[in-house]
Amino acid sequence: MQLKTYIAPGRAARPSARATTVEPGRVNHHSQLVVRRAGRAADDLQGQNIYVLRCNGCGHEYGEAGIRVWQRKCPVCDGGKPGLPVPAEEPSLFDSL
């Protein structure tokens, strides 16, 4: 007799979890827009990438670790903590087309 692994009915049909809060174009509840992934890891949080956020109120851009994107407030007009430094966007091969 061979035993089978039990899969709970509700879990079998669910897709794997995705971090939707860091997708470009998403806006958190403090009106901070996710612009892009900055392309480097956060120094203070292991396993977290830095994302570029833009305030919809004043247009200020700053960086933040992915795990904190959902709760960020603008450091200029909303009293949030200072953002992380953002490296310049690397040029793409398709920019010259």
Q: What is the DSSP string of 56-97?
A: TTT--EEEEEGGGGGG---TTTS-PPPPBP-PPPPPPTTTT-
Distance between CA atoms of 41 and 36, rounded to whole angstroms?
13
pTM: 0.71
Whether residue 33 contacts residue 26, with contact meaning beta carbons closer than 8 Å, is answered with: yes
User: Residue 84 has what DSSP assignment?
Assistant: B
- The SS3 of residue 50 is strand
Q: Where are the domains of the chain?
A: 19-87
Q: Is the model's pLDDT at 41 over the cut of 90?
A: no
pLDDT mean over 69-75? 94
pLDDT band at 35 (very low <50, low <70, confident <90, very high): very high
